[in-house]
C-alpha cells in the first residue's frame, strides 16, 4: 500500500455528481457522506469549465479535505490550481483516455495520491508494468452498466471484477453501478473498496446511504457503525 494513502480510506470512495445531488449542493452531499463513513472523495463534473471545477474542488476540500483525501477526476491542472489556492486537495484520478498516468505523476509530484481506471487485460497489464509508486490504486469496472458513465467498458460483473483484481498487486476499487448488495461479494472477490456515485449522491440521505455501503462491505449488521 502506498505511503500516501491509508488503506482504510479506500473502503468507500464517493464520486460526485452535481445533477444527482440537486437540489442539494455537492459540498453538502459530500459532507453528509463523509459523516456517514465515506473515506475518500473524487470530484467529478465532466461538463464543468475549468474555473467552475476549481471552485467546486476548493469548496469540497474546504469542507472535508482535512478529514479525508479529496481528489479531482482527470484534471491535473485543476488539482494544481486548487493546491495553489491553499485548498487541502490530495490528488487526481485519471482514466485511460486522460493524461498519461506517468506524466500525471510527474506533474502532480511525489506526494499526490494518484488513481487510475483499468478494466481490460491490456490496461491491467500496463498498470502492473508501471514503475513502483506511480499509482496508488486502480478503479476497476464498470461492475454493472451505469448511467453516470455511458461510455463505460463492457460490465465485468462481480466475478469479472475478481478476475481483474487478481491480475494486479495494486489495491482495486470496484466502480460502476455498484449496489449495496454487491458489497460482500466484491470484497470476497478482492476489492479494497467500493467507488459509488448514484447510490449515494441520489439518495435522500447520503450519510445513511454511505453507512449502508460501508457496513455491507465490512459485513456488519444494520445499526453497527463501521
Task: Give binding residues as ranges.
Answer: 42-46, 73-74, 98, 117, 146-149, 177, 197-198
Tell me if residue 47 falls in helix, strand or coil. coil
What CA–CA distance (Å, rounded) separates 121 from 123? 6
Pairing between β-strand 113-118 and β-strand 137-141 as defined by DSSP bridges: parallel
Considering Cα of 56, then 60, then 66, then 72, what sign does the dihedral take?
Answer: negative
What CA–CA distance (Å, rounded) separates 70 from 7? 15
Any idea of the CA torsion for 161, 29, 215, 154, to the nearest 10 degrees? -10
- The residue with cell 486522460 is 98
Q: Give binding residues for Mg(2+) as ranges.
A: 74, 98
Cell triple for 54: 476549481
Closest to 89 measured CA to CA, from 66, 117, 114: 66
Buried b (16+ CB within 10 A) or exposed e, 44-58: bbeebeeeebbbbbb
Closest to 155 measured CA to CA, from 12, 97, 169, 147: 147
At CA 118, angle to CA 137 and CA 82, rounded to 5?
55
Amino acid at each position: 500500500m502506498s505511503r500516501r494513502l491509508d488503506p482504510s480510506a479506500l473502503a468507500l470512495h464517493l464520486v460526485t455528481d452535481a445533477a444527482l445531488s440537486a437540489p442539494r449542493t455537492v459540498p453538502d452531499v459530500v459532507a453528509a457522506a463523509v459523516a456517514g463513513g465515506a473515506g475518500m472523495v473524487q470530484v467529478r463534473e465532466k461538463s464543468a469549465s475549468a474555473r467552475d471545477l476549481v471552485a467546486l474542488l476548493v469548496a469540497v476540500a474546504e469542507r472535508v479535505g482535512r478529514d479525508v483525501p479529496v481528489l479531482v477526476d482527470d484534471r491535473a491542472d485543476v488539482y494544481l490550481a486548487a493546491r495553489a489556492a491553499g485548498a487541502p486537495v490530495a490528488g487526481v484520478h485519471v482514466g485511460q483516455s486522460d493524461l498519461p498516468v506517468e506524466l500525471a505523476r510527474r506533474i502532480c509530484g511525489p506526494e499526490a495520491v494518484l488513481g487510475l481506471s483499468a478494466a481490460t487485460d491490456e490496461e491491467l497489464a500496463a498498470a502492473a508494468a508501471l514503475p513502483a509508486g506511480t499509482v496508488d490504486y486502480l478503479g476497476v469496472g464498470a461492475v454493472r452498466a451505469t448511467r453516470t458513465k455511458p461510455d463505460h467498458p463492457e460490465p465485468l460483473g462481480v466475478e469479472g471484477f475478481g478476475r481483474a483484481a487478481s491480475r494486479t498487486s495494486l489495491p482495486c476499487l470496484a466502480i460502476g453501478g455498484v449496489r449495496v448488495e454487491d458489497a460482500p461479494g466484491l470484497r470476497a472477490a478482492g476489492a479494497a473498496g467500493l467507488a459509488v456515485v448514484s447510490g449515494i449522491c441520489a439518495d435522500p440521505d447520503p450519510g445513511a446511504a454511505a453507512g449502508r455501503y460501508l457496513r455491507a462491505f465490512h459485513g456488519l449488521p444494520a445499526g453497527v457503525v463501521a
